[in-house]
Amino acid sequence: MTTPVQEAATAADQASSDQATPAAARQVVIDYYAAIDARDYAKAYALWSDNGAASGQNYEHFSGGYANTQSVKASVGEPFDEEGAAGSRYIQVPVELKALQRDGSERAYRGRFTLRAVMADGASEEQRHWHLASAEMQRLAD
């Protein structure tokens, strides 16, 4: 027989694992590029782990990197290679990107994001959601 505390913990664990689904990981990447396209760089930056620090840039450098970008259109693929390690889960999400520049030129990229969700005891609700952990993007030849 389980106690109400055990039942609540089990329900919380189930809810947390439901938040870190492959579909949810894909949605984070979709939301990321939607925010960039809308020029909501603060929202895009916040989708990176560690309050944006996982992007490897401070917010000013991150947002400034889009100064010449007019719009972006992302084709986000299906997540793959989900794995767990040391209290975290990781998943890969492929993406193809077309970025229209302010001068009218277009740049194309292909790559993938690695997303991370913390599953360790004591992790906050926010940490249990997928966040961008790293990106590997390659510019395609014009």
Average pLDDT across the chain, whole number = 88
pLDDT tens-digit series, residues 108-119: 999 999 999 998
What does the pLDDT read at residue 7? 41
pLDDT tens-digit series, residues 80-99: 999 988 899 999 999 999 99
42 or 5, which is more confident? 42
CB 89 within 8 A of CB 116: yes
pTM: 0.84
CATH class of 4-139: alpha beta
Which pair of tokens denotes residue 60? 């000013």
Domain boundaries, the chain: 4-139
What does the pLDDT read at residue 29? 98
Show Cβ contacts of residue 3 under 8 Å, excluding neighbours closer than 6 positions.
none
